[in-house]
Structure 1
Amino acid sequence: MTPAATVRIRSAELSDLDDLVALEEHSFTSDRLSRAQFRRHLDSDSAKVLVASTGPHRFLGTAVVFFRRRSGVARLYSIATHHAARGQGVGSALLDATEQLARRRRCRALRLEVRADNPAAARLYERLGYRRLAALESYYEDGGDGWRYEKLLTG
């Protein structure tokens, strides 16, 4: 579909709301962010919504990261890649941008959770230097298990 070299990562804007919600609904069957949640995160100092695209309204993926005051750990709350863009480096580009953002905010680590039944995502995180910290039994809304991962952000 799209080589990773042409993927642009930018901050989401209010005009992206429809596309953000559509990708969320397309990507997840449970634990979805609602339109109201996306809208709140777009205006929040403690959250950042990133968009991967090849141009205006050509959404390939999104990432939502949270920052807590006086915490050195950022949390990647959600990452979604359009099904047609999977395997094209979009997830890696979003993770890299999220890590850079966390470093700029002086975070020492980035944490995330992934479904235990999503081995492709777990492999991506491990390949990019994330280490598994904990098993999360019945973590997801539908009762699915998960894993918590962390990457130290040095340099």
Structure 2
Amino acid sequence: MYTPQVTIRQFSISDYSEVRALELNAFNEDNSMYYIELYQFFPDSFYVATVNNKVVGFVVGLVTVEKIGRIFSLAVLKDYRGNGIGRALLKKIIDVLERKGVMKIRLEVREDNEVAKNLYKSMNFKEVDIIPYYYKDGCSAIVMEREGILWMNY
């Protein structure tokens, strides 16, 4: 099996069009302007995965005023899934959030996205709630949380 050489780095404005296309491809939604606003205020909250300088994945997360890490989005191009890119992006944003001293990290995932739920569970996220009709197509969201590393040992 071919494993591509992946680089995880901070998002830059020049990545915008590729991230926008990736999000449309992965979610059939375009929240990219919202992500640009987040990037302007929290530049260390947005990372991309590249293969041969092509953006193949991204993750967006930040710390709330309550010191809770929030992962807003994680996506990988279909042709690059199954190569550990999603896991690498998730590890990166967890590391960034935990270095900021979060008490926990929270995210929402589609109820029918078993692959993503399994990835999150493998990284110590637990299902804590469900939000009915969260997505535009009526699908519910599973709320998942992971204790911050500072709190995991107590």
Instruction: Give percent identity, aligned residues only.
Output: 27
Give structure 1 regions of 4+ aligned residues with deviation exceeding 6 angstroms.
none
Equivalent residue runs for 1:108-127 within 5 Å: 108-127=103-122
Hey, what does 1:59 align to over in structure 2? 55
**Structure-1 residue corresponding to 2:23:** 24
Corresponding residue of 1:33: 31
Residue 21 of structure 2 aligns to which amino acid in structure 1? A
Which amino acid is the alignment partner of residue 139 of structure 2?
A: G
Give the drift of 1:141. 2.1
- Counterpart among 82, 91, 98 of residue 93 in structure 2: 98
The TM-score with structure 2 as length reference comes to 0.89
Offset of residue 46 of structure 1: 8.0
For the aligned residue pairs, the C-alpha RMSD in angstroms reads 1.8
Which structure has the highest helix share of the two?
2
Distance 1:121 1:53, change over 3 A: same
Distance 1:144 1:47, change over 3 A: farther
The residue aligned with 1:154 is 149
Q: TM-score, normalised by structure 1?
A: 0.88
Deviations 1:62-88 (CA, angstroms, capped at 9, x unpaired): 00113223x221110001001011111
**Equivalent residue pairs, number:** 150
Question: Where does structure 1 lack aligned partners over 5 or more consecutive residues?
Answer: none
